[in-house]
Structure 1
Amino acid sequence: MNTSGSVRVAVVARGEVARGGLAAMLAEAAHVDQYSVYEPEEFTAAAPVDAIQTLVLSCDVLVVWCVNAFGTGEDAWAAELTAVVRRNGIRVVLILPGAEVQRVASGQALPCDGVLDQDALTTEGLDDALRRLADGERLVLEPATWAPSSRFSGQEARPRTEPSIGLLTERERQVLELLVDGLSNKQIGQALGVSEHVAKRSVAVVLSKLNCPNRTQAVAVALREGLVGTGESLRT
């Protein structure tokens, strides 16, 4: 059980965008002391023992971003990795698409200690969930009362309108990609060759078009909808 109030976190996720988005959130999370990010391939090599040992020693909670709760098909690596990690006393939380979260909210036993909804993920909700997991809680879904937008965020449920994804210009998509990378307005301006004021205004336009109240919500939408993911960065 963690008693220091700070959490060491490891992330394993397929896709650079997912890893970058989670890293950006963890960098802002109040209770996260340190975090490390890994690709699944590091644990599916012929002899992954060293990688798994490093992972176990580096974290209190493992965050796994995948699409299938039970680790079947392309997510078979997730089931194998979480089983080994949990045997070593590490807590595991799965971050799943909203539809998959609803599918497994039937009380079925899952190979993890908690589940979070990709579609409703916020920095605050992720931070709170990690703190609770490190303190020994198990974030169990309760089918009768569970609501995707409020289960882990501590906020009241409210209807979500669909983001105006198709209205993003090419430059706005570049801004969104830099948001996913965790850049500040000043850094976005430098990357795009514009002033910080122009960058701030561009960020506001992107948030408005995506119907997002803040940057972390925009990152979650970008990851969910696949709005970025070319793997190319504007930074040199």
Structure 2
Amino acid sequence: MPQPALLVADDHPLLRAAVVQVIRSRFPSFEVLEASSASTLSAALAEHPQIELVLLDLTMPGTHGFSALLHVRGEHPQLPVVVISSNDHPRVIRRAQQFGASGFISKSAPADALTQALSAVLDGDTAFPSIHAERSEADAELAMRLAQLTPHQFKTLLYVADGLLNKQIAQEMGVTEHTVKVHVTAILKKLECHSRTQAAVLVKSLEPESLG
């Protein structure tokens, strides 16, 4: 049996190293794995089924804010995700909660806060700072619409948001251009969008800076 693992996904090497060091000292029974982008995050999750928790930064390459959280929750609904971010605005914390995170840790928090949060989530609880932000019905509706997408459709949507053409998306995903067209048609229907531009705007709204 492989050793249970925790995955730290953050593109900042120094901060990731510091977090990994804390986790290794406080949770010695867990292997600690690392990822620095959306693609390495997906690869790690595919290669290591023993991962029991993901500690996730919101601003890695290949992500659009909360898109990585939604992608992990869609592909691995039983896997708890704790968001770690330097943006600890109450609205960001509330959005993380609504998009399916099990906890939120500010990058300015002390090591003990990180330990307590991870312990709580590993025990099946949640770990969020006390916040004063209204629940957003728009975010709830957006999360529900995005949850209808298959993992391949979600990945296609992110490429659409990056402005890639169908031919380019096909090359990136290793599928035919016809398959991409089928995905895009399904995406627009499920998201109730009339154009690729409208779908891209939805993805942009997942950025943590979108506090309006």
**Larger relative contact order (C-alpha < 8 A, sep ≥ 6)?**
1
TM-score (norm 2): 0.49
TM-score (norm 1): 0.45
